Structure 1
Amino acid sequence: MTILGFYYIVPLVSVICGLWVFVSKRKHLLNTLLSLEYIMLSIFWFMSLHLTGLGHESYFLLFFLTLAACEGALGLALLVSVVRTHGNDCFSSFSVLQC
């Protein structure tokens, strides 16, 4: 396997690790938001390697990075709202009946 193959394997392993943390560590909202950001950055890393390897322009990468930043800002706003209403970000303290 060449060194170029390792450049593609590392971001894919990062995505898999981020998905594993997202699925297994669901006690706090902050943990899930951080794992989502890690997944988005790993996908950005993989796409940037792939598009530069093909010789394409990187305008789509800027669009993707902008959407990832907006997703992070919305997640932080949701986290602040949840902490203000419920007092913490622990999922076990949430109730379906309470809004």
Structure 2
Amino acid sequence: MLILGFYFMIPLVSIVCGLWVFVFKRKHLLNTLLSLEYIMLSIFWFMSLHLSVMGHESYFLLFFLTLAACEGALGLALLVSVVRTHGNDCFSSFNVLQC
């Protein structure tokens, strides 16, 4: 039973680490997008562990993974657009009044 609790603790720690990077290390857009993807994969890992222990079907996991992939593609398109218009992805170079 202790090993099962340890298996649930690893994804939760990785979610917290991803949130920490997202909140405190947001200098570049690419860094925030990578931390969002890390959070999504950690949540996917946690949900897959939870659903396998409970014995439920994993159709919801496929839907969640599809939405995570769409979010990643949208973030990459936003990154390319920002780099083309502003020249870099550093948040300090953006001006809200200019956009």
Q: Trace 1:64-79 onto structure 2 (pairs within 5 A).
A: 64-79=64-79
TM-score of the superposition, structure 2-length normalised?
A: 0.98
Gaps of 5+ in 2: none
Matched residue count: 99
Gaps of 5+ in 1: none
Counterpart in the other structure of 2:51: 51
Counterpart in the other structure of 1:61: 61
For 2:39, the aligned partner's letter is I
2:13 paired with 1:5: no
Deviation at 1:97, TM superposition (A): 1.7
RMSD: 0.7
Which segments of structure 1 move beyond 3 Å, counting only runs of 4 or more?
Answer: none
Rounded to whole Å, the distance in 2 between the matches of 1:97 and 1:16 is: 34
Rounded to whole Å, the distance in 1 between the matches of 2:36 and 2:61 is: 18
Rounded to whole Å, the distance in 2 between the matches of 1:68 and 1:96 is: 28
- Of all paired residues, the percent bearing the same amino acid is 89
